[in-house]
Structure 1
Amino acid sequence: MKKLNSEFNYLSDMYEDSYYPSFLVDKIQLNIRKVVDFLEEGKHSIEAVQEKLDEMTIAINELEDEFYQNESEIETVARDSIAITVEEILQYFEIDIDIEEALRERDW
């Protein structure tokens, strides 16, 4: 079974920008890690992977109010950082899902 390198850099642009509270970026990372854990379990159908990505994206959507309460939001830099992280993970696990499709449930 393939494992993602423990040194993998999640959401680097968000962590480097003080506009994004680290504890909220941690919550996004936790949701992405759930997908990674699922992928590390072994071979799954594209449909099953997409379902996990949808769950992840909906969970990230639900953080929007917390970002607003902390004078932040999931905007361009955050969207790109999330997309780049997810895209790199999909490439590593050789999963052929377009990033737009992977994040199709996003509100951001």
Structure 2
Amino acid sequence: MTISHRIGNREVAEHPFLQGLYADPYFPDEILDRGRAVLWRLCERIEDERPSDLTALYALTHAATEEFNRLEAEFEAAGSEIETVARDEIAEDFWFVASSYGFADADVEELIATRDW
């Protein structure tokens, strides 16, 4: 499934965000869809704003991480949570986004530094 016609980076547009979590029934698809939308919006913002350095990129990824923070309550209400497997999958997708837009030197922990999960 491709994301949005607004995404110009073909590699990103074709990436199956959160794929490993969709395979596990512990994570509700409807909430994962919201998480995937967070990542798509992050990509759109990167393409629109074109961050010139890691500081600018981190500002965008921190905002997206805050959106994931708000999803945690939805996961919990559905009997799930953003636990170790989910944290790793989400972090990997954040790093994929950063590296796909030319920031392969981004620190994955800094990309999601504002997380509370």
Same fold, TM exceeding 0.5?
Answer: yes
1:101 lines up with 2:107 in the alignment: no
Q: Give the fraction of aligned pairs with identical amino acids, expressed as a percent.
A: 32
Q: Which amino acid aligns with 1:3?
A: N
Q: Which residue of 1 aligns with 2:98?
A: 90
CA distance in 2, matches of 1:20, 1:85: 16
2:57 match: secondary structure: helix
Gaps of 5+ in 2: 1-7
Deviation string 1:37-93 (CA, Å, 9 cap, x unpaired) is 112236313222211111111110111111111000000110011011111111111
Q: How big is the shift at 1:4?
A: 3.9
CA distance in 2, matches of 1:104, 1:88: 16
Contact in 2 for aligned 1:57/1:103 (Cα 8 Å): yes
Structure 1 residue corresponding to 2:9, chosen from 3, 6, 10: 3
The structure, 1 or 2, with the larger RCO (C-alpha pairs under 8 Å, 6+ apart) is 1
Q: Which amino acid aligns with 2:9?
A: K
RMSD: 1.7
| Number of residue equivalences | 108
Q: Which amino acid aligns with 2:107?
A: D
1:41 lines up with 2:44 in the alignment: no
Structure 1 residue corresponding to 2:26, chosen from 8, 19, 24: 19
1:65 lines up with 2:73 in the alignment: yes
Contact in 2 for aligned 1:4/1:36 (Cα 8 Å): no
CA distance in 2, matches of 1:76, 1:42: 31
CA distance in 1, matches of 2:45, 2:15: 16
CA distance in 2, matches of 1:29, 1:12: 9
CA distance in 2, matches of 1:85, 1:74: 14
Gaps of 5+ in 1: none
Contact in 2 for aligned 1:4/1:40 (Cα 8 Å): no
